């Protein structure tokens, strides 16, 4: 597989157009074009580099970018510079899908809402909304290559004689495929929304809400504010979502579940009468690994040059509770 092909597959569920202006999604480190083995992790660290080397991987896909700030000099004493140099010495490509995945309809917050059992979820802070078209074409390598080349495409099924996929713009798909190639096209009875956070039905009292979050995420500790409302609607935002308490409250949430919050977020949410549950950044986003691995395995299983897609076993939060 070529580097460009991998980027197209990742961008089916993490389109670069969705990344925040300050972010650095895409290939942070590009060293070679041929890709055979891929390791997926939340972050890049020396432990991940060692794991990639032991597995014989040539590419690492992470959630958090390696490079956020411009490097004007290279200093071996700087931890990021040292990590980049070691990555280069090992000959590893690194692709990062951060806010491009966070804001995706299949991304961080949608996955978190599903894990937590939030019912009838919808985007909390909607940035874009588009109709969804469902297409069916003949299943052959040429058509598949064209599909993965269309940003924003989601493949539903390619196990039989046809490939079933969805896209929000039928005109773009029609430009790629002739009318006779498309076996069927229909407008789905739904809209694909992009944005930050999810909100939906989640009925619980404060103690059972805490218990559910701990059980669903497999964690022993959370931090909450002092508000104790009866919860009927809950919002969730993976990562640092405490700054969106006002938006969650205005959308009708009795509870916001997120990975990080500042001191004032606890005070402000309490004054609104809204419960706040903070899980820790890592635990609110760790499902990225399984989600991305399944997506890559599904979409590379027919590519002979791909020898393996691996979920990192060397991951843990960079902090601990004492």
CB-based burial label for 256 (10 Å; 0-12, 13-18, 19+): buried
End-to-end alpha carbon distance in the chain: 45
Residue 150 has pLDDT above 60, yes or no: yes
Residue range 182-198: average pLDDT?
79
In this chain, the answer to whether the domains covering 3-100+286-311 and 127-193 adopt an identical fold is no
pTM for the whole thing? 0.82
Residue 6 CB-density burial (10 A; 0-12 exposed, 13-18 middle, 19+ buried): buried
The model's confidence at residue 316, banded by pLDDT at 50, 70 and 90, is very high
User: Per-residue pLDDT averaged across 74-103, rounded?
Assistant: 95
User: For 212-258, what is each residue's pLDDT tens digit?
Assistant: 999 999 999 999 999 999 999 999 999 999 999 999 999 999 999 99
pLDDT for the residue numbered 79:
92
Q: Would you tell me which CATH number, out of the four given (3.30.365.10, 3.90.1150.10, 3.30.470.20, 3.40.1390.30), belongs to the domain 3-100+286-311?
A: 3.40.1390.30
Element (H, E) at 269: helix 263-271
Higher pLDDT, 146 or 279: 279
Confidence class for position 190, pLDDT limits 50, 70, 90: low
Q: At what angle do helices 79-90 and 46-55 cross, to 10 degrees?
A: 10
pLDDT for residue 191 is more than 60: no
User: Of 244, 311, 295, which is closest to residue 106 (Cα–Cα)?
Assistant: 295
- Superfamily in which the 108-125+196-284 domain is placed by CATH: NIF3 (NGG1p interacting factor 3)-like (3.40.1390.30)
Tell me what percent of the residues of the chain surpass a pLDDT of 70: 97
Top-confidence residue, 77 or 282: 282
Least confident of 102-106, 208-212, 299-303: 299-303
Determine which helix (DSSP H) or strand (DSSP E) holds 128, and give its type and residue range. strand 119-138
pLDDT reported for residue 257: 98
Radius of gyration of the chain (CA): 21
Fold of the 127-193 domain: Alpha-Beta Plaits (3.30.70)
| Poorest-pLDDT segment among 185-189, 204-208, 272-276, 285-289 | 185-189
State residue 179's pLDDT score: 67
Query: Domain-by-domain residue ranges, the chain?
Result: 3-100+286-311, 108-125+196-284, 127-193
Q: What is the largest CA-CA distance in the chain?
A: 64
Range of weakest confidence among 137-151, 184-198, 258-272: 184-198
């Amino acid at each position: 597989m070529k580097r460009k092909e991998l980027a197209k597959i990742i961008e089916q569920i993490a389109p670069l157009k969705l990344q925040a202006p300050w972010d650095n999604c895409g290939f942070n480190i590009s060293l070679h074009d041929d890709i055979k083995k891929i390791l997926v992790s939340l972050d890049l660290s020396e432990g991940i580099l060692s794991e990639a080397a032991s597995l014989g991987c040539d590419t690492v896909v992470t959630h958090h970018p390696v490079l956020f700030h411009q490097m004007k000099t290279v200093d071996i004493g700087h931890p990021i510079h040292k990590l980049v140099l070691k990555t280069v010495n090992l000959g590893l490509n690194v692709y990062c899908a951060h806010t491009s995945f966070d804001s995706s309809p299949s991304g961080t917050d949608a996955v978190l809402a599903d894990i937590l059992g939030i019912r009838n979820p919808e985007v909390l802070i909607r940035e874009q909304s588009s109709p969804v078209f469902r297409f069916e074409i003949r299943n052959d390598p040429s058509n598949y290559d064209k599909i993965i080349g269309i940003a924003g495409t989601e493949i539903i099924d390619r196990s039989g004689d046809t490939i079933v996929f969805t896209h929000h713009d039928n005109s773009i798909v029609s430009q790629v495929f002739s009318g006779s190639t498309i076996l069927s096209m229909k407008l789905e009875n739904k809209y694909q929304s992009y944005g930050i956070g999810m909100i939906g039905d989640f009925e619980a009292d404060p103690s059972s809400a805490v218990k559910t979050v701990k059980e669903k995420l497999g964690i022993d500790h959370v931090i909450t504010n002092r508000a104790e409302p009866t919860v009927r609607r809950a919002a969730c935002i993976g990562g640092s979502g405490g700054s969106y308490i006002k938006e969650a409250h205005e959308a009708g949430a009795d509870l916001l579940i997120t990975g990080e919050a500042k001191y004032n977020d606890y005070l402000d949410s309490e004054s609104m009468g809204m419960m706040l549950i903070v899980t820790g950044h890592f635990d609110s986003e760790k499902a990225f690994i399984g989600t991305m691995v399944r997506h890559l395995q599904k979409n590379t299983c027919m590519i002979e040059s791909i020898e393996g897609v691996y979920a990192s076993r060397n991951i843990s939060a960079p902090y601990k509770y004492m």
